[in-house]
Amino acid sequence: MAESLKSLAALSCPTPLTTRDRVLLGHGSGGKLSAELVRDIFLPAFSNPALAQLNDQAIVDINGTRVAITTDTFVVKPLFFPGGDIGSLAVHGTVNDLAMGGAQPLFLSVAFILEEGFSMDVLQRVVNSLKRAAADAGVQVVTGDTKVVEKGKGDGLFINTTGVGVVHAGLELSANRARPGDKVVLSGSIGDHGIAILAQREGLEFESAITSDSAALHTLVAEMMEVNSHFSQNRGEVGHPIRCMRDPTRGGLSSALNEIAEQSQVGIELDEQAIPVRDEVKGACEMLGLDPLYVANEGKLIAIVEPDAADALVAVMRRHPLGKDARVIGTVGERNAGMVTMRTALGTTRIVDMLAGDQLPRIC
């Protein structure tokens, strides 16, 4: 995720930080306030080529190997939710950020902040879940750290995972590579994670249970890379049909696409009817006044792909369990550079802006 960095993209209406002298919950939203924080505080301090790309992961060179590094802290509340818990989420989130950079995830560090009085049994359950998720994803937890803060100075358990992986040879993925004509591919339905968390937190009950989509996407990405090579070979050149990938977590699909539109200085036009939203998620969103485009996902990805490779990519993705509902949901264009628009089911077109406030705090 590392949304604090990537979310710089869609600052269509910059507000000076001087008007906000205190940290707000929205500064952690992955939306506009997060982007302000990055723009005004973090980027000026740490300018370097890897950071400046504002991707979800840094790609650095270590003795000729392209190594991806990404970090993410998990403060999700509650710790356990349908479809996962903070332990599995801490693995999936970081594995996915590596995968979105085209990297094979290899190593994780895990750092815990425990609140004094936290249940040792619950810690054990979280660690067991983290262990299973890491083993399933084929990543090794190689180092760790634990800090304890006094009762009332934390909230049970926070987890930071930092991941290291090796980028697939020859790949060049970045949010500034989208070009007019490219297609936007989405791997499956949106909104499941955010609604599952919210329902659990607020004790909401729906007719059918809503489950988080939390999952590690790197095996899906590995298969997508095959299409990539295939097309590259056919064209007899080094280029890659996949321009960039993102997992639409905090801030949802809208934030991820706004970032790409902004960084690539292109317009992205979505087709509302093509975007899969489960009926129960749609119903919950309507009831709660939420827009699924802004709700977090933890097991979905979007890929910007050259037009002539889109169908082949979707076909390959559909053979993978995590991509079985993959489809083209939009097109990259020249008009409305830096903006995301959507043709609605009613035939009108509306602007899909970046998340302004904080729709759902502590979703990951």
Map the footprint of its own copies across residues 12-31, applying CB under 8 A.
17, 20-28
Q: Which is nearer to its own copies, 28 or 241 (CB)?
A: 28
Report helix angle 310-318 to 218-235, nearest 10.
Answer: 150
Looking at residue 329, its amino acid is I
Taking CB under 8 A as the criterion, which residues in 164-193 touch its own copies? 164, 166
Stretch that binds its own copies, among 60-68, 182-190, 209-217, 345-353 (CB under 8 A): 60-68
When asked if residue 39 is in the footprint of its own copies (CB under 8 A), the reply is no
Residue 290: CB minimum distance to its own copies, A: 19
Residue 77: CB minimum distance to its own copies, A: 8
Distance CA 354, CA 29 (A): 11
Chain centre distance of CA 154: 25
Chain centre distance of CA 93: 8
Residue 22: CB minimum distance to its own copies, A: 5
When asked if residue 207 is in the footprint of its own copies (CB under 8 A), the reply is no
Q: Which is nearer to its own copies, 143 or 265 (CB)?
A: 143
Q: Which is nearer to its own copies, 166 or 171 (CB)?
A: 166
Stretch that binds its own copies, among 34-42, 286-294, 296-304, 314-322 (CB under 8 A): 34-42
Pick from 123, 222, 312, 337 the residue near its own copies by CB under 8 A: 123
**Residue located via tokens 């995972």:** 161
Q: What is the per-residue DSSP string for 42-108?
A: IHHHS--HHHHT--SSEEEEETTEEEEEEEEEE--SSSEETTEEHHHHHHHHHHHHHHHTTEEEEEE
Pick from 9, 102, 103, 118 the residue near its own copies by CB under 8 A: 118
Taking CB under 8 A as the criterion, which residues in 127-156 touch its own copies? 127-128, 130-131, 134, 140-150, 152-155
Residue 180 DSSP label = T
Stretch that binds its own copies, among 120-128, 269-277, 297-305, 323-331 (CB under 8 A): 120-128
Question: E strand or H helix at 243, and its extent?
Answer: strand 242-246
8 A C-beta contact, residue 364 and residue 74: yes
| Closest of 93, 96, 86 to residue 125, by C-alpha | 86
Residue count (the chain): 364
Q: Residues in contact with its own copies, total (CB under 8 A)?
A: 84
Taking CB under 8 A as the criterion, which residues in 72-111 touch its own copies? 72-75, 106-107, 109-111
Q: Which is nearer to its own copies, 64 or 236 (CB)?
A: 64
B/e letters for 150-170, b = 16+ CB within 10 Å, e = fewer, are eeeebebbbbbbbbbbbbbee
Q: Which is nearer to its own copies, 79 or 268 (CB)?
A: 79
When asked if residue 309 is in the footprint of its own copies (CB under 8 A), the reply is no
Pick from 8, 9, 11, 58 the residue near its own copies by CB under 8 A: 58
8 A C-beta contact, residue 305 and residue 241: yes
